Amino acid sequence: EAQVTQNPRYLITVTGKKLTVTCSQNMNHEYMSWYRQDPGLGLRQIYYSMNVEVTDKGDVPEGYKVSRKEKRNFPLILESPSPNQTSLYFCASSFRAEANTEAFFGQGTRLTVV
């Protein structure tokens, strides 16, 4: 089954404790991105990757890191999480970076930083 898989689905952590949210897709997609969803703000892009070893900042990159060493994986790293990073996070992938391709989303990771 074609899908984008995120882990974990739920995570509660403490301020300053490094964490990684994994994202993997099995569709051989080139383009991957991370979003955070906050009430009243919709989805905002954190980082995106147009292909292996190519990543760039989205609208809200502060406090986050990403890497794209393999085509299928695009982990999101929070080196020192803070309470304002409490949010619902989505990973998405698209066949290519072209503007006319739709995105496939993971099921989300609900992160709480206390």
Partner 1 sequence: AQSVAQPEDQVNVAEGNPLTVKCTYSVSGNPYLFWYVQYPNRGLQFLLKYITGDNLVKGSYGFEAEFNKSQTSFHLKKPSALVSDSALYFCAVRDGWSNDYKLSFGAGTTVTVRA
- Closest to partner 1 by CB, 27 vs 97, is 97
Question: Cβ of residue 98: shortest distance to partner 1, in angstroms?
Answer: 7
Stretch of residues binding partner 1 (CB under 8 A), selected from 21-29, 61-69, 70-78, 104-112 = 104-112
Which positions ≥6 away from 69 have C-beta within 8 Å? 52, 53
Tokens of 32: 């991957």
Among 34, 47, 74, 90, binds partner 1 (CB under 8 A): 90
Q: Verify binding: residue 61, partner 1, rule CB under 8 A.
A: no
**Residue written as tokens 């403490």?**
14
Q: How far is residue 99's CA from residue 79's CA, in Å, rounded to a whole number?
A: 31
Site string for partner 1, 20-59 (x = CB under 8 A): -----------x-x-x----xxxxxx--x-x-----x-xx
End-to-end CA distance of the chain: 36
